[in-house]
């Protein structure tokens, strides 16, 4: 399972993701793709995101049963705390 959250990206990026994932809410995509497709979708989003941000989470065989990564200007930050991935909301939106 893969979840991608896009913030302030060009509409073409959202259109590209709808070929592979279902958009359940504006900018929130979910689906089940291979690791290769997941990586290529991530790279595509990084290349064309402009000033926006991308967050991706996927199922994996870890303690939390998922892994996350984020790039660009997002309202949330993924932080590693003693091997656990947590989401931090920056104070004052920064």
pTM summary value:
0.86
Domains of the chain and any CATH numbers: 2-93 (3.30.70.240)
- Tell me the pLDDT tens digit for each residue of 15-62: 889 999 999 999 999 999 999 999 999 999 999 888 889 999 999 998
Cβ within 8 Å of residue 49, ≥6 positions away: 6, 9, 10, 13, 71, 72
Cα–Cα dist 70/72, whole Å: 7
**pLDDT over 80 (residue 92):** no
Residue 1 token pair: 């399972």
């Amino acid at each position: 399972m893969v979840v991608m959250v896009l913030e302030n990206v060009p509409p073409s990026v959202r259109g590209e993701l709808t070929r592979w994932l279902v958009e359940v809410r504006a900018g929130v995509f979910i689906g089940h793709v291979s690791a290769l497709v997941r990586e290529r979708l991530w790279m595509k989003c990084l290349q064309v995101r402009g000033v926006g941000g991308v967050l991706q989470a996927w199922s994996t065989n870890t303690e939390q049963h998922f892994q996350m990564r984020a790039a660009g200007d997002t309202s949330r930050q993924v932080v590693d705390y003693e091997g656990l991935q947590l989401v931090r909301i920056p104070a004052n939106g920064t």
